[in-house]
Copies of this chain bind each other. A is one copy, B any other.
């Protein structure tokens, strides 16, 4: 399970370190994909396979599912940690997430998201707002 928010710098070669806790759960095998929003999603290999199986079981049923498959698998990249615990971010993904020289790593339960710092701030703000509304609906404190 991943959680927490960490800010790192990309060096001029496009490498990012991940928090040590994350590395331990991602035994040197990571799959990077375009996130639904403007971010990069990183899955541990096992979790990625699980998602892939889930998709594959539905792939034959509809044309839209096939398109979905292409969108997901076609834009996915494998990445490995170097000896310092960093991964290189492919340029297409960096462009998609508009990531410059600073980056935010966010743990989101089963996966990890990589954000442009400013985009993340606004996304977090709206996310927290929504969470509050739901909490009030629960009567929870």
**In the complex, A141 Cα to B41 Cα: how many Å?**
11
What residue in chain B is nearest A128 (Cβ atoms)? Answer: B71
Give the chain B neighbours of A126 by CB distance below 8 A.
67
Total identical chains: 2
CB distance from A108 to the nearest CB of B (A): 5
A123 at the interface (CB under 8 A from B): yes
Q: Among the listed B2, B66, B75, which residue makes an inter-chain contact with A37, where contact means beta carbons less than 8 Å apart?
A: B66
Q: Among the listed B51, B75, B109, B128, which residue makes an inter-chain contact with A128, where contact means beta carbons less than 8 Å apart?
A: B75
A5 at the interface (CB under 8 A from B): yes
> Is B106's CB under 8 angstroms from A74's CB?
yes
> Is A109's CB under 8 angstroms from B69's CB?
yes
Q: Please, how many residues of chain A have a CB less than 8 angstroms from a CB on the other chain? A: 49
Q: Among the listed B4, B74, B135, which residue makes an inter-chain contact with A74, where contact means beta carbons less than 8 Å apart?
A: B4
Give the chain B neighbours of A77 by CB distance below 8 A.
3-4
A64 at the interface (CB under 8 A from B): yes
A46 at the interface (CB under 8 A from B): no
What residue in chain B is nearest A58 (Cβ atoms)? Answer: B134
What residue in chain B is nearest A123 (Cβ atoms)? Answer: B70
Given known A69-B108, A78-B3, A132-B36, contact A54–B140 (CB-CB < 8 A): yes
CB distance from A60 to the nearest CB of B (A): 9
Q: Which of A89-133 contact B (CB under 8 A)?
A: 92, 106-109, 113, 123-124, 126-128, 130-132
